Structure 1
Amino acid sequence: MAPAWAQSPLGARSRPSHSRPVPTAAPCLPPRKLRRTVAASAAPKGAATRAAPAVPPTAPSSSASSARPAAFSLVETQGGTERDLLASTSSSPATRTPATPSPLSTADLVHGDPSGTAPSSAVLALAALPDTLKDLFLPPGFPSTVTPDYLPYQLWSMPTHITGHLSHSLVTSSLLSAVGVSAGPAATVALSASIKWIVKDGVGALGRLIVGSRFSAEFDEDPRRWRMVAEALSTAGLGLEVATVAAPQHFLLLACAGKFCQALGKGMGKPVFRVIQTHFARAQNVGAVAAKEEVWEVTAQMLGLVASVAALRALEGTGSYEAVIGSWAAVQAVHVTLRYKALTTLLFTSLSPKRTALLASAWVRGQRPLPNARAVATEEPVLGDSTSVRPHVVLGCTAAEAFGGVLPQDESALLSYARLYDNERYWLVWRDDTAHVVLKEGCDQSDWLRAMWQAAWLDHHSAKPGQGQGQEAGVAEAGPSGRNGNGTRASGEGAEALVKEAGGGPSALEVASVAALEGAGGFGEFLAALEGAGWEAGVVHMQPGKARLRVGLAA
């Protein structure tokens, strides 16, 4: 006997709909002080409340020909335009602005050490230092007022800053040699400021303008990756500048191009640095963390200047630009390595696409409890983007993009997805081992997480090598009782009927994934497990596309 969800027509699933209203914009609250606005106490543990369906479910019918209600409408908005998906032509451009997702509200989280380990040896060693040194370098209340990864990051950043200043000094020496100025320590100190002012002002401002206009929330989403991108741009810029000593006839071109690359790197590095500082401020003490950061950096700068003078004196007698370039390359390689090592110590507890994908995949594979921030940090690729982990999710795409670039010729496919996702604020089309998520108007961060969980479920239950495709994948994953791990049936007469009614719409596997959201071990339990593992389920950094779908009744 198939379960109730498989027996019901696609538009009349037996599970009750929930009554969460579409949220309106809420005032910005501190991430660690967010509270739930849903009536969690009225729902069973692990259950997730959902919005009321935009269109009332259709009544059960023995005929699949009654799939489309007469007043059913699907309108896609993007920018200032609207498009009726059920019509052959687009409507005139609309003037209203698409809905903006509102922040997810969630319960206060209990924040302990995300690593779940005892104090590190570095913390214990600092306890023996004089109070004057601790007050100089560490924020008040250390270590309880900062995150556990604060000190490891600073210890690795110190030599990073030193090598950075040394690298810049060697580059300045090359610039001076290229224009025929003595490259000794005294001349370097006296003229380096003049060289910088000449070549960097206009070009550097242009680079910062490009970064500021193009990038914004990407830095919150993946600060470690963007910091390494900034480091790569800075290294390229320094390499162009140091090359001026070998090609002085192209001094202006190389110096300006180098400063432009460095400006791009600096434009990315500064906002990422602010993200990291905010992350450290566990007690909302951003000012104290920033003040102590200055102490760390100035101390490293002084040591770097001493090392620079020593290196320049050693290179002064050689008279060979090859020695300068070789020394710079070695120092810069050490600098980039130290930067990478410092970034790997960061333990972010917010939810980004990569971290959410790793956590959702671990959950659907049956990993209990969920990994904490330290475990995920070791698995999360620092240099890779969201496509470097599974599942692959395209969040906020258009309906045409979801179906492969062209809308289905048979509108019953669209209507089948509309009925399947009548209780959700998105559609998910599983195609080419990728989840294409069409977001509805009024969606929020909880819906993004919900779609990511469903994508992980589909990725886990999709066909493996040697198995069939589509619904057969669900059959292969079923246990001896014919049920998947969440208690839903992925095959059988009920699923077959749903696929036939869909008429080219959702597959049986997609139907089962929607049922799995509310089943045992579903999305609600996943959210509770996230909080139990120390993750901030209310702090979601994702960048969905701007297309939105409006599902409703035609006038």
Structure 2
Amino acid sequence: MEERGGVVVASERYGSAESWKYWAKDGAMERREVNEGQSKGNSVVGVFKSVFLPQGYPESVSDDYLQYQFWDTVQAFSSSLSGTLATQASLKGVGVGNQEATVAAATVTWLLRDGTGMLGRILFAWQKGSKLDSEAKKWRLFADGLNDIAMFMEILAPHFPAFFTLILCTAGVFKSVVGVAGGATRAALTVHQARRDNMADISAKDGSQETLVNLAGLLLSLILIPLVTDSPRLTLGLFFLFTILHLFANYKAVRSVVMETFNEARLSIVFQRYLRDKRIPSPAEANRREPVLLEFGKSVPIKLGVKLQEVVQSPDQLDLALKGNNMPFLVGIRNGCVCVCLGPEASVGDEIRAACQALWLSGRLNAPTPGHPNQRGHWETVHESHKLMDAIFSEFLKGAEAAGWDVKRTLLDWDEWRVEWKTKSS
């Protein structure tokens, strides 16, 4: 192709950001950028992108990356300013600026705060660590709300000197929970955003973005601190302003995330819609409807991957659980809970089917019905669920994959118990 006094022999591009052509003329080859006039104006933007955005952006990340990072930046900035106000109050409470305060007393208070925080971190990770992947949005929002409560306690603590250490230690425990939940859910969201196995790059650039935001917050804090030092009312007023902005930005951030893998909430939305009108919502539609606030207590909870004794308590009940069931899992109802035992050979598709069946049973038990069915009635409901899933699940799973859902892995909250069972005949 003859152009501009030469022949274009090759072209190349760097993601969607840059495009170049190679020109051949008189035995030489020259490399020129397409739209050279725009390149100078975009050079600053290009440097900014290379420093703060993952390599290959936007193709290397999920479609919701930019919107999430924008709101995450807003919440980090407001949290940085709130943290400055809380730190100032804590330092004032331990005696900074008070000639009667001793270094030893301040040190003991700070050590108690850090020590209780460390214990809180260990206990929370032990109790809730396995839940953070499956409910990343909920725990992310919970962590940031708890962080605001902790900072509010630190601001109030100096006004209650008799309980100062207790309040500060409690706030330290809350912040340790925030550290675990925030860090773990950030990692889960990074896995979602990474589309080229580039989790480390995304995490590193996220750290760079947060550092830049904290630097901006630090500069603004240098202006705020002299204004609020002797004004508790102004401190509280600014804190509430930043807290409202922080919570709003966090809500918008988690709402912007569109995850294509099933957790219990998203699977419930999709499966219930399919049962109603045979239509499967897209990941974007289901994520918009997914609740992002933690639910403390459900009327009919679901337990996945439990021990065998939580499903059956006798050989006769085991036979009832296997009746009409040729799947590598057992489903049962006990003490108002829907429980599922999983066999070691179960596939991801089997896990999704078992969860769908448990969701259907939970809905049936939660529906208002006259009287309370006995254990035999429960097994009849379980058998009915097996027949339903035999009829519809294969079509449901194909439709979910066609709608854009990732059915090769899940974020369902399975425990680690795996059970092998035998029937009377075997």
TM-score by length of 1: 0.60
Equivalent position of 1:329 in the other structure: 240
The alignment status of 1:518 with 2:386, answered yes or no, reads no
Q: Report which of the two has the higher share of helix.
A: 2
Give the Å deviation of 1:549.
4.5
Which of 330, 333, 350 is 1:447 aligned to? 350
Equivalent position of 1:418 in the other structure: 322
Equivalent position of 2:61 in the other structure: 146
Give the Å deviation of 1:433.
8.3
Equivalent position of 2:21 in the other structure: none
Equivalent position of 1:475 in the other structure: none
Matches within 5 A, 1:51-200: 130-182=45-97, 198=111, 200=113
Distance in 1 between residues matched to 2:154 and 2:223, nearest whole Å: 21
Contact (CA 8 Å) 2:116, 2:173: kept in 1 or not?
Answer: yes
Contact (CA 8 Å) 2:154, 2:171: kept in 1 or not?
Answer: yes
- The code of the aligned residue for 2:379 comes to P
SS of the counterpart of 2:132? helix
Contact (CA 8 Å) 1:361, 1:391: kept in 2 or not?
Answer: no
Give the Å deviation of 1:162.
1.0
SS of the counterpart of 1:383? coil
Equivalent position of 1:255 in the other structure: 168
Distance in 1 between residues matched to 2:124 and 2:368, nearest whole Å: 43
How many pairs does the alignment contain?
Answer: 377
Return 5+ residue gaps in structure 1 as ranges. Answer: 1-126, 184-193, 471-501
The alignment status of 1:305 with 2:305, answered yes or no, reads no
Equivalent position of 1:551 in the other structure: 421
Distance in 2 between residues matched to 1:129 and 1:377, nearest whole Å: 35
Give the Å deviation of 1:381.
0.4
Which of 243, 263, 277 is 1:366 aligned to? 277
- The code of the aligned residue for 1:544 comes to W
SS of the counterpart of 2:422? strand
Deviations 1:438-470 (A, max 9, x none): 434544443321122224455677896689998
Matches within 5 A, 1:190-269: 198=111, 200-269=113-182
Equivalent position of 2:15 in the other structure: none
Equivalent position of 2:379 in the other structure: 506
CA gap of 1:461–1:172, structure 2 versus 1, over 3 A, is closer
SS of the counterpart of 1:220? coil
Equivalent position of 1:276 in the other structure: 189
Equivalent position of 1:537 in the other structure: 407
- The code of the aligned residue for 1:324 comes to T
Distance in 2 between residues matched to 1:434 and 1:337, nearest whole Å: 35
Contact (CA 8 Å) 2:340, 2:358: kept in 1 or not?
Answer: no
- The code of the aligned residue for 1:372 comes to S
Deviations 1:190-213 (A, max 9, x none): xxxx99975654333323322333
Give the Å deviation of 1:355.
1.3
Distance in 1 between residues matched to 2:243 and 2:220, nearest whole Å: 14
Contact (CA 8 Å) 1:365, 1:460: kept in 2 or not?
Answer: no
The alignment status of 1:437 with 2:307, answered yes or no, reads no
- The code of the aligned residue for 2:305 comes to G
CA gap of 1:287–1:357, structure 2 versus 1, over 3 A, is same
TM-score by length of 2: 0.76
Deviations 1:405-460 (A, max 9, x none): xx47xx64542332322x11222236798643343454444332112222445567
Distance in 2 between residues matched to 1:532 and 1:239, nearest whole Å: 48
Distance in 1 between residues matched to 2:233 and 2:419, nearest whole Å: 60
SS of the counterpart of 2:269? helix
Distance in 2 between residues matched to 1:526 and 1:432, nearest whole Å: 30
Deviations 1:492-511 (A, max 9, x none): xxxxxxxxxx976732x543
Q: Which moved more, 1:343-352 or 1:231-240?
A: 231-240
Distance in 1 between residues matched to 2:364 and 2:132, nearest whole Å: 33
CA gap of 1:504–1:210, structure 2 versus 1, over 3 A, is closer
Q: Report which of the two has the higher share of strand.
A: 2
SS of the counterpart of 1:436? strand
Give the Å deviation of 1:547.
5.3
SS of the counterpart of 2:196? coil
CA gap of 1:302–1:441, structure 2 versus 1, over 3 A, is closer
- The code of the aligned residue for 1:365 comes to R
Give the Å deviation of 1:297.
0.8
- The code of the aligned residue for 1:518 comes to D
Give the Å deviation of 1:278.
1.9
Deviations 1:244-267 (A, max 9, x none): 221234333322222222112112
Distance in 1 between residues matched to 2:371 and 2:157, nearest whole Å: 60
- The code of the aligned residue for 1:415 comes to D
Deviations 1:178-226 (A, max 9, x none): 244359xxxxxxxxxx999756543333233223333333111111111
SS of the counterpart of 2:302? strand
SS of the counterpart of 1:538? strand
CA gap of 1:257–1:435, structure 2 versus 1, over 3 A, is closer
Equivalent position of 2:253 in the other structure: 342
Distance in 1 between residues matched to 2:323 and 2:289, nearest whole Å: 38
- The code of the aligned residue for 1:452 comes to A
Return 5+ residue gaps in structure 2 as ranges. Answer: 1-41, 99-106
- The code of the aligned residue for 2:202 comes to V
Distance in 2 between residues matched to 1:252 and 1:179, nearest whole Å: 9
SS of the counterpart of 1:217? helix
